[in-house]
Amino acid sequence: MTGIKVPAEKCGSENQTNMIRKLVIGLWAGMLCLAPALFGQGVGAQYQGVFAKATEAPTLEKNLRTLTDEIGGRVPGTLQMDEAVKWAVAAFKAAGADDVHTEDFTMQTSWREGATDVEVTSPTRFKLRATSIAWSPAIQGTLTTRVVDVGFGSPEEFAKAGDIAGAIVLVHSHVLHKWQDLFNEYLDAPPIIDQALKGKAAAIAWTSTREHDVLYRHINAPPEKFDRIPSVLLAREDALRVARLIESGKKVEMSITLPNYMGGPIKTQNVVAEIRGSEEPNQFVLLGAHLDSWNLGTGALDNGCDAAMVIEALRAIKSSGFKPKRTIRFVLFSGEEEGMLGSWAYATQHKGEMDNADAVVIFDSGSGRITGYSLGGRKDVLAKVNEMTKPFEVRGPIENTTDAFVGTDNLDFLLDGVPTLVANQVEANYLVNYHASSDTYDKVDMTELKKNLVIAAYTMAYLADTPRLGPRQTRPEIEQLMKNTGLDEQMKLFNVWPQWEDGTRGRSRQ
């Protein structure tokens, strides 16, 4: 990139006459236009070095290739996850961290899929493309029984379906397009499982929300527990074929072989690096992403790209010579996919210093453009965050939102009263590849990821340098926030509520 200079006012313009020159400039324009436009629009001079270094991103692509192509999918308790932890420690060191270490925690259950086999045995015979739902209990031997179509699984549809005792219930789904569809997929599952159990069904066959045979790893189990009923995910095309057979009046029988391994406790690690603060080293802001992933694919969009980005953000800040007033911690969590277990462990292990945590920033939505931050219900920090994100607007509209949700590693910090920021990003190609066999390196939009990196690095430098974003909330304030945002209802649905109530999650009662 050195040696190519594009004046800001010429970026993207039609002024170039030489076609070849135009093409070359076009290829680089995404990168080069970004810096001058952002620098010129309200970013303090003290952060310009961070911006410049972040646009270079010298090891981002290589690091991500190693993590995804060489190491692969990373489920805690597997060799691949252990390799990923070693990779992260080495990469943080190479990026210039002042300190890098790992922090152990225990996951109470471990699991891996056996040789799942699903077949329709009557009225015709064909194999279905299928995978186990994560943390599904095993089936002893092979289950062969009738299939009952329960539609989308509403109480009315279950009632209409009649007797489901001993049957496999087939649940329909809508094709996934938007973030809300994904939230609905998670939110809809627990009551459907309740009804299947109530009717004494033997197993659930879920219809894939993706077309073209895409299978993905979905989890419905409460934290630290196995799912409550054996469950498989069927390729959408196969599930719809079964549904049509049933609809035409045929009695359909299916056999499921599901020899899942259901194991006991395992140890896994969060990886923690830091740049120490120059004035208040005990105060900290935290940039986090999860390192673990599912392993049908290689966890590139979810969340390898953001794990690599966190490491690159450290490199950018450190190599720019920027001296943050407060410490910046860079944390790659394990166990996110099984219920944010790594960030829960981190918040628990660091309970004593939560008063010193100024803000926690989480990236977990692939490489789509950042559209702002979700502030976990904290209206009191909105004005300051709006001020901070003004310079991003040259990339597109920015809206910081004050919603709160159960879904990623900010939750346990939010429950401890710490202001949290989760990057809101456009869906891009995230959802179609979400947890799927197709979530591989080639899906990552490197140009957008590099722009997100600039924003992440700037955000951390800014937060570590400016007055505290907002106070740590008390338990009553957190409870009020839950009510205002509906977070309490979500926590109940996802079985996180009992842990808040019994004090194993969140700010304790004093």
- Under the criterion CB under 5 A, does residue 409 sit at the interface with Zn ion? no
CB of 148 to Zn ion, least distance (A): 33
435 Cβ contact partners less than 8 Å away, ≥ 6 residues apart: 216, 217, 218, 294, 296, 297, 302, 337
- The CA-atom distances, in angstroms, between 133 and each of 139, 182, 255, 338, 342 are 13, 16, 16, 12, 21
- Under the criterion CB under 5 A, does residue 445 sit at the interface with Zn ion? no
CB of 303 to Zn ion, least distance (A): 4
Nearest CB to Zn ion, comparing residues 47 and 363: 363
- Under the criterion CB under 5 A, does residue 412 sit at the interface with Zn ion? no
Spell out, one character per residue from 362 to 401, where the chain touches Zn ion: x when CB under 5 A holds, - when not.
Answer: --x-------------------------------------
- Under the criterion CB under 5 A, does residue 490 sit at the interface with Zn ion? no
Nearest CB to Zn ion, comparing residues 366 and 506: 366
Stretch that binds Zn ion, among 152-160, 220-228, 280-288, 297-305 (CB under 5 A): 297-305
Nearest CB to Zn ion, comparing residues 76 and 324: 76
Stretch that binds Zn ion, among 62-70, 182-190, 230-238, 300-308 (CB under 5 A): 300-308
Residues 330-369 that bind Zn ion (CB under 5 A): 364
Q: Which residues pair with 270 in a beta bridge?
A: 103
> Could you tell me how far CA 355 lies from the centroid of its own chain?
26
106 Cβ contact partners less than 8 Å away, ≥ 6 residues apart: 265, 266, 267, 268
Stretch that binds Zn ion, among 61-69, 294-302, 371-379, 382-390 (CB under 5 A): 294-302
Nearest CB to Zn ion, comparing residues 97 and 233: 233
Exposure string of 404-438, with b = 16+ CB inside 10 Å and e = fewer, is bbbbbbbbbbbbbbbbbbbbbbbbbbbbbbbbbbb
With CB under 5 A as the contact rule, the residue among 68, 110, 303, 425 that binds Zn ion is: 303
69 Cβ contact partners less than 8 Å away, ≥ 6 residues apart: 298, 441
Burial of 502 (0-12, 13-18, 19+ CB in 10 A): exposed
- Under the criterion CB under 5 A, does residue 473 sit at the interface with Zn ion? no
- Under the criterion CB under 5 A, does residue 302 sit at the interface with Zn ion? yes
Order across the sheet with 203-207: list the strands.
Answer: 126-128, 117-122, 253-257, 142-149, 168-171, 203-207, 231-234, 130-132
CA distance 55 to 35: 7
CB of 339 to Zn ion, least distance (A): 12
Nearest CB to Zn ion, comparing residues 34 and 307: 307
Nearest CB to Zn ion, comparing residues 217 and 326: 217
Residues 203-222 that bind Zn ion (CB under 5 A): none
DSSP state of 229: S
**Contacts to Zn ion by CB under 5 A:** 302-303, 364
